[in-house]
Amino acid sequence: MTSFGPPYPMPRSAGEFQRLCLRLLRRHWQLPHLERFRDPERRESGIDLLEVSGRPALHAVRCELREMREAPRAAELKAAVDRAAALGLPIGTLVIATTAWRSKALKRALFDLNRALRVAGMFAVEVLCWEDIEELLDEYPDVMARFESTPKRQALSKADSRCRFEPRAVPIPVAQQPDDISHELDAAVALVERRDYQMARLRLMQLRERGWRAMNQGQKLALLTSLALAWLGEGEERKAAMLFIAGRSLGAEDESACTNEILAYELLGEYEHACSLAQTVSARFPASGRALALWLNNLPAVEDIAALRSRVPAALAGDPEVNTVLSRRALARGDYARAEEFARKAAQSSPHSADAWLLLGQAILLREIQAAAAVAGAKRVREAEECFSRAVSAATGTGAVATEVQALIGRAQARIALRDADGAGRDIEAAHALEREDANGLCEYGILLRSRGELSDAIEIFRRAVRIGGRDDAEYHLGVTLYERAAPGDLQESVVLLGRAVRETGSMASDDYLFAVSAAVEALSALERWHEAEELLAEVDAQRVSHVALLTLKGRLELSRGNVSDAWRLADEALCEVSSEHDPQHKRKLAALLHDLGRYAEALVLWQSISAAGGGTAVDMRRLLECANRLGRDDIVLQALRDLKNAGGLGEGALEFEIELLERHDPERALERLTQHLKDHPEDRVMRLRRSVLARRLGRKELVADDTQSMPPAREVLPSLGRVAVQLMREAGRPNEALSYAYDLLRRNPADADAHRAYLIALGPMGAMPVVADFETAQPGCAVCFVEPQDGAEQWVILEDSPEADEAVGEYGPTHPLTRQLRGRRPGDKFTLPDSTRLSRRSAVVKRIISKYAYRYQDCLNGWESRFPGLPEIEMVQSAVRAAPPEELPAAPTPVALPNGSRESALDSAVEAYRSGTLSIHGFAERAGLGDLQAVLALAARPGAHIKCCEGSEDELNAALSALERADTVVLDLSAIATLCLLGRLGLLKSWPRRFMIAQSTLHALRRLQFDELPVSLPAGFSAAMVAQEEDAPRRRPELELKTLADAIQGACAVADAGMLAALAPEQRDRLLDLFGRSGAESVVLASMPGRALWTDDMVLANFARAEFGVRRIWTQSALMARVRAGNLDPAELGTAGTKLAGWGYSFTTPSIETLMRAGSVAMWNPEEFPLKQVLDLFSTDRLKLGDAVILAAEFIVRMYADVYLRVARTSVTLRLLDRLAMRTGGREAIDALPQSLPIRFGLDLIRARELADAIRGWVAEHREEIAA
């Protein structure tokens, strides 16, 4: 995934993360039997998910929700392994999934742990960090197709179109002379106003009992009204209504008493009587806005809004209560524009009315929801949020709890639209705390709990909402949540609820309706109730789901049943109908289906259309980038980067990624982009260095800044860029500055291979050498080796003269007690260790003293293989071999008819065509009259022939390693099988924690080997132990082993039928078959499915598969390197394999010292023998840069002189190596420079240094005349 792409939302709870892992890994591993691990003893088991199947080696998963920077430590990994092992289960692979990012320390800890587990014969351990999980989510788009929080109409408006007005208190008549009744009545009314309803009732009831007869009419009316208000405040609506009706008889001419009677009949549910009474009261009090509002409020809901508006007298057109009723009725009818108009008038007339502000907020937000699927106007949404806030404030002041709850829920919806999830959550929680039996609030609270991953609590809340009623989508939300939780029994219940919601709920939003159908179909598929899913799809409302969406759902159903061809056909039908007018959500569903069918190019077009229409989300952009990356469409990635930049959505690292792409495709444009950036940011020394690197490559020397002041400090630069800075300083004749810079870079990045490479470059033999001081006595700047007599073990410390000495890695500053004790000591001197005490004095003896630079160099070189297994010590370079783009590939080669005795000439002709052209291995095989596997053997055996395996760049290797980490299934083609045969490593397939697959036609090709004679000679070094891996098994001739190859492969790989090949367009299918044969074509199509990678040693096939089908590939050496890095393969085996591959002419990644040493060992240090001869020949070619070749040669010679006992062997290999270097332009000058770099390389081993110097001088003297010529 690109570094600037938008991230996925992080799980918010451990339960949510566990469910995400369960769903994702079930899909990725194709393990429907992966379940939550349930331990009845409730122990800390070390695993959360377990494969419950009959397989002998199970998958187990531990899910750890962590902070992103808190990667698991080695001790925590070991503890998890111990707990999992204690369960006594047949675990084959333990996966630790975490939301932390992968650290270098984690990589090393995992490598050490797996190496120890391999020795102990235990299961392998893998770690899925958050970046790995994000990549898998890219791989399976439908996994994240969960219910998303969007503003919901159901939360903003209820079905009831009536407003609920608060009854008005009747003023107490002013007595001419205050009496006890007036005082008591005033005190009781004050209690009502303070909402102390119980005490108010007590006072009023006692007053009525004692003084009713003494009261006048006005006092009686006030008492009954106040008592009714007290009962109403306590929720006793019927008692309050009876009192309001009774009060009307005491105040027939009082407007408040009359309108309170109308409200009483509303409370009793007698709306027709309330309407009739309101019409009468309105006629009696024509200036009463309350009376008119109550009449409008109780009219039937079918009344037209425009007609009602016309019946409002002009004098009351601005009345807040009248406008409030009209707004509510318009809102209920979906006329949000008129609702907003009326609500705005009400809010302006009565700025303290909670109902007016509530309605205005609802109307504004509902208009925005209606306008587009994604809320378009942030300004309008923020206005709605402010309206809801004013409604909350007003309702709180008046004690209108129901209004406050609805205002809080409305504000939560506005905040959801504004992506303020935390603010929305607070509002929903506050609403739930105020009213726990409101279905609307319960549903919103349940949605909040679901978004937090608290599914079980959410389910109980939704069940309450369903029981209470009043929210028509409550069952839908309950079904969705059960579907997401997927505990035992949940899917069965969710199918019933979702099916009912799909069939019965007409008011569900379109997006919710489509999601309900999708969830129901998926749940039925998981239950293998296929026919019920088909019946449900047949009943879907065609007015609510487009035909494109329906075809997509049917295609998804067929894919889940394994009917890939039918799914492909249905996807074709949907593609024919989709247009720009279709809903983005329907396009997303179709694009995800195409992605899962491996049709990335067509999916990419849909993601682009969604983005171009302006309705795309951050996840849509990730999908677009995923497809573009798969297909190698860097042009689309660059355009997406520009779009993100214009939208202000760029992530960290976007500029670096843009420059990287431009360097690859348009270096001049990259140079311009860097220059423009430096004009705006002249202080950016990192980008200045990057421009220098590019300018040097383009020959623009005037833009190269190689002085120390222009270089970014080592603490600010990535090691890969710091390595180039060291190279520039060396080339500029600043070796001392280069060494100091490289030393600082290495200290700050001790676990990075490029930091170590930079240090080797700083001390490389070409150019002026840095001055490295010799030390006779211990001083700051040297490294000291000492031993304690008690144990005799050597210890090295560095007396550091640079700042920030780190004692944890053996560095001690000038003021440290150990430095003071060692200062001035010579070899042989004794000293007292500073941690000694008077009772226990520990002494040590100085053994050796060398420069800290020399010590770091030897530590760097000697520890390389253990630190970076499989990586070369020099920069990986691309080979001269290139694979042509698909449009340049030749037409299908014509198979040759071979007369007797002409096979050798045909082979020669085919090899030449393969070397100079764009043929695949199948193309070579067709020209040579061979099978594809035989063609690989023929190329490997042919002197001077090269197998076009890979380009050899580090980016290519990283992509392959990433593909292998991401893949659950690896498809092998015939070239990969041939290479494993050559190496004799087919047995690795059975021990690998991956599934391997071959096409049916591949097996057929292998079966034919049983009957065909081998028409080519086998290459040197061919292993006869391909099939029989046991030590005691009998060995047979290689040609006999090939005849049993089919059985061996079938025992390690699943055999799949590539039926999708038939579904391809005829032209595309024919071209694929012509270029790569049926076996290659089927392998490509099988590998195009998500979660798979193609293992091929044919670069032409690999590049075509990526460009046309989005296939990710690995090759043999990269696969072995991945095993070594995981700690599951001995690095020595990788070295041996790399040596043989180089000897057979595979164009592979740059050789390492370990490769060279293995080649020597295999050849018994005879430079004329395979594979040492072939590896040494590499130094005469341009596959290695001259500077890197000289560095590698120097380090290899030093290592060889230290490890090889026979002097004659050392000398013969050295002379052959010098011969090969001398064949290159500038090679002889580089050989002349070698002796000056020997002292620092050999350290104190002066004898071997002198021997090598003599050998080099002898070679130079022997070739002096040639040099002079």
Task: Convert the pLDDT of each residue in 884-902 to its tens digit.
Answer: 566 666 665 555 555 555 6
Contact 968, 1054 (CB under 8 A): no
Q: Residue by residue, what is the 3-state secondary structure of 434-495?
A: HCCCCHHHHHHHHHHHHHCCCHHHHHHHHHHHHHHCCCCCHHHHHHHHHHHHCCCCHHHHHH
Can you give the pLDDT at residue 1243? 63
Is pLDDT at 584 greater than 80 in this prediction?
Answer: yes
Is pLDDT at 740 greater than 60 in this prediction?
Answer: yes
Q: Is 1243 left (phi over 0), alpha (psi -120 to 50) or beta?
A: left
The token pair that represents 1077 in the structure block: 């044969």
What's the mean pLDDT in 1183-1195? 82
Q: How confident is the model at residue 373 (pLDDT cuts 50, 70, 90)?
A: very low
Between CA 371 and CA 867 the distance in angstroms is: 59
Between CA 1043 and CA 1011 the distance in angstroms is: 8
What's the mean pLDDT in 665-683? 89
**H or E element, residue 125:** strand 124-128
Q: What are phi and psi of 299, to 5 degrees?
A: -70, 155
Q: How confident is the model at residue 155 (pLDDT cuts 50, 70, 90)?
A: low
Q: How confident is the model at residue 1025 (pLDDT cuts 50, 70, 90)?
A: very low
Contact 99, 17 (CB under 8 A): yes
What's the mean pLDDT in 287-309? 88
Q: Which CATH number fits domain 782-864: 3.50.50.60, 3.10.50.30, 3.40.640.10, 3.40.50.450?
A: 3.10.50.30
Q: How confident is the model at residue 473 (pLDDT cuts 50, 70, 90)?
A: confident
Q: Measuring CA to CA, how many Å separate 722 from each of 274, 756, 805, 1070?
A: 84, 11, 21, 49
CATH code given to domain 546-631 = 1.25.40.10
Q: Give the residue carrying structure tokens 């074509």.
A: 1081
H-type alpha helices, 1163-1245: 1172-1177, 1186-1203, 1207-1222, 1227-1233, 1238-1242
pLDDT one-digit tens code per residue, 62-120? 999 888 778 889 999 999 999 999 888 999 999 999 999 888 788 888 888 988 898 88
Q: How confident is the model at residue 145 (pLDDT cuts 50, 70, 90)?
A: low
Is pLDDT at 1028 greater than 50 in this prediction?
Answer: no
Please state the length of the chain.
1269
Is pLDDT at 849 greater than 90 in this prediction?
Answer: yes
Between CA 32 and CA 26 the distance in angstroms is: 6
What's the mean pLDDT in 836-841? 55
Can you give the pLDDT at residue 97? 95
Between CA 384 and CA 428 the distance in angstroms is: 16
> Please, what's the largest Cα pairwise distance for the chain?
141
Q: What percentage of the chain carries pLDDT values higher than 70?
A: 89
What's the mean pLDDT in 999-1015? 85
In this structure, the number of other CB atoms found within 10 A of the CB of residue 1147 comes to 21
Is pLDDT at 1035 greater than 60 in this prediction?
Answer: no
Q: Is cis: bond before 893, omega within 30 of 0?
A: no
Q: What is the pTM of this model?
A: 0.75
Contact 1126, 1139 (CB under 8 A): no
Report strand pairing: 1054-1056 vs 843-851: unpaired
Interacting residues of 870 by C-beta distance below 8 A, sequence separation 6+: 1120, 1121, 1124, 1125, 1131, 1134, 1152
pLDDT one-digit tens code per residue, 266-282? 999 899 999 999 999 99
Can you give the pLDDT at residue 147? 45
Q: What are phi and psi of 339, to 5 degrees?
A: -60, -40
Can you give the pLDDT at residue 340? 93
Between CA 930 and CA 438 the distance in angstroms is: 78
Between CA 534 and CA 553 the distance in angstroms is: 10
Contact 1203, 1157 (CB under 8 A): yes
What secondary structure letter does DSSP report for 703? G
3-state class of 433 per DSSP?
A: helix
Q: Which CATH number fits domain 14-139: 3.40.50.150, 3.40.50.300, 3.40.190.10, 3.40.1350.10?
A: 3.40.1350.10
Is pLDDT at 1112 greater than 50 in this prediction?
Answer: yes
What's the mean pLDDT in 1083-1096? 94
Can you give the pLDDT at residue 1041? 63
Contact 1070, 1064 (CB under 8 A): no
pLDDT one-digit tens code per residue, 317-364? 999 999 999 999 888 888 889 999 999 999 999 999 999 999 999 999
Contact 299, 308 (CB under 8 A): yes
Task: Please report, as a single letter, which amino acid is at residue 627.
Answer: C
As a whole number, the mean pLDDT across the chain is: 85
Q: How confident is the model at residue 540 (pLDDT cuts 50, 70, 90)?
A: confident
Is pLDDT at 1030 greater than 70 in this prediction?
Answer: no
